Amino acid sequence: MDSSSITPFVQSTSNVFEMMLQLPVTVGKPELKKEPEPAHDVSGIIGLSGDIEGLVVVSFPTSTAERAVSLFTGETLEATNPDFADAIGELVNMISGGAKAQFEGKSIQISVPSVVVGTGHTVFGKKDMKGVTIPCSCDIGEFSVEVSMVEWVNATAA
């Protein structure tokens, strides 16, 4: 996975946060994900399939996630509210969908989002797939976007 594969996720994260939450995002230097590494307290997870296979995880500390959901929905929702998980799922869906659109000429499908809420959880992808953690911050706190993927060469050429 090279930097051109990460750029769509960086751009999409910035776009979603600026458009939907009115928050500019500062993106840190992407790093190889260390395995196993606990995610933050709240993780939105989307699978990628097709010409690109992988996993996208947007992970927040609970307080940052609650503030993001409040800005996104216009109401205060605690992490225990079922609508909270739906909002986190929609944010990861928008980020993944925006990134997917930037992979021109590739047939990529994204899964229905899953959301995990709980301290110290770890999200595992395929063992043979390396991941990158993109640290992000904004006025409401820090969060990360984790991308693990492999591109199938000539997948659409058949």
Distance CA 139, CA 23 (A): 7
Q: Which helix (H) or strand (E) holds 93?
A: helix 82-100
Residue 125: its pLDDT value, please?
Answer: 80
Q: Where are the domains of the chain?
A: 3-151
Confirm if 108 and 100 have CB atoms less than 8 A apart: yes
Cis? peptide before 36, omega within 30° of 0 = yes
Q: What pTM, to 2 d.p., does this model score?
A: 0.91
Under the banding of pLDDT at 50, 70 and 90, the label for residue 158 is very low
The answer to whether the CB of 42 falls within 8 A of the CB of 79 is yes
Residue owning tokens 């930037």: 102
Asked if residues 118 and 33 have their Cβ atoms less than 8 Å apart, the reply is no
Apex CA 146: angle with CA 118 and CA 5, to 5°?
A: 165
CA-to-CA separations, 81 to 22, 77, 96, in angstroms, rounded: 23, 6, 24
Closest CA to 36 of 143, 113, 133: 133
Count CA atoms closer than 13 A to 109's CA, side-chain side.
Answer: 4
Q: Convert the pLDDT of each residue in 71-118 to its tens digit.
A: 999 999 999 998 999 999 999 999 999 999 999 889 999 999 999 999
Tens of pLDDT, residue by residue over 19-71, are 999 999 999 999 988 766 767 899 999 999 999 999 999 999 999 999 999 99
Which CATH class for the 3-151 domain? alpha beta
> What residue has token string 């992407």?
30
